[in-house]
Amino acid sequence: MDWGTIIAGLLTLAILTFLYRDNPVYRVAESLLIGVAIGYFLVITWTNTLMDLLFIPLFTDGRLLLILPFVFGLLMFGRFHPATKSLSRLSMAVLIGSGAGVAIPVMLEARTIKQMSATVMPLLASSGMPNWSAIVVMIGVLTTLSYFYFSREHKGTLGHSARIGVYFLMIFFGTTFGYTVMSRMSTFIGRMEFLLTDFLRLTN
Partner 1 sequence: MKLEGRHWIFLGLFAAVFIAMALNLGLDVAVSGDTQGMYEFIDTLSPGSTIIVSFDHEASALPEIRPLALAVLRHAFSRNVRVIGTALLAEGTGVGYRLMQQTAREFGKDYGSDWVYLGFKPQYIAAILSMGESFSRTYPEDYLGQVYSDLPLLNDINTYDDIAGVVSVADGSLTTHWIEYAGSRYNVKIAGAVTAAMITTYDPYLASGQMDAMVGGLRGAAEYEKLIKTGGGGERGMLAQTVSHLYVLALIVVGNLAYFLTRRKPKEGRG
Buried b (16+ CB within 10 A) or exposed e, 124-158: eeeeeeebeebeebeebbebbebbeeeeeebeeee
Under the binding rule (CB under 8 A), the answer on residue 28 touching partner 1 is: no
DSSP 112: I
Alpha helices per DSSP H over the chain = 3-16, 24-45, 67-76, 87-107, 114-119, 132-147, 156-193
Binding range to partner 1, per CB under 8 A, among 43-51, 64-72, 80-88, 153-161: 43-51
Give whichever of 53 and 74 is closer to partner 1, judged by the CB atom. Answer: 53
Reported as type and span, the H/E element at residue 124 is: none
Buried b (16+ CB within 10 A) or exposed e, 72-87: beebeebeeeeeeeeb
Binding range to partner 1, per CB under 8 A, among 65-73, 77-85, 150-158, 184-192: 184-192
Give whichever of 27 and 114 is closer to partner 1, judged by the CB atom. Answer: 114
Binding range to partner 1, per CB under 8 A, among 77-85, 151-159, 161-169, 189-197: 189-197
What amino acid occupies position 50?
L
Under the binding rule (CB under 8 A), the answer on residue 186 touching partner 1 is: yes
Say if residues 14 and 28 touch (Cβ distance below 8 Å): yes
Binding range to partner 1, per CB under 8 A, among 45-53, 62-70, 76-84, 122-130: 45-53
- CA 168/CA 115 separation, integer angstroms: 17
Under the binding rule (CB under 8 A), the answer on residue 53 touching partner 1 is: yes
Under the binding rule (CB under 8 A), the answer on residue 60 touching partner 1 is: no
Contact residue for partner 1 among 81, 115, 159, 201 (CB under 8 A):
115
Compute how many residues bind partner 1; rule: CB under 8 A. Answer: 47
- One character per residue 136-175, x = contact with partner 1 (rule: CB under 8 A): -x----------------------------------x--x
Task: Say which residues have a Cβ less than 8 Å from residue 199's Cβ, sequence separation at least 6.
Answer: 1, 5, 6, 8, 9, 12
- CA 3/CA 1 separation, integer angstroms: 7
Q: Could you list the residues that contact partner 1 (CB under 8 A)?
A: 19-20, 37, 40-41, 44-45, 48-49, 52-53, 99, 102-103, 106-107, 109-111, 114-115, 117-118, 137, 172, 175-176, 179-193, 196-197, 202-204
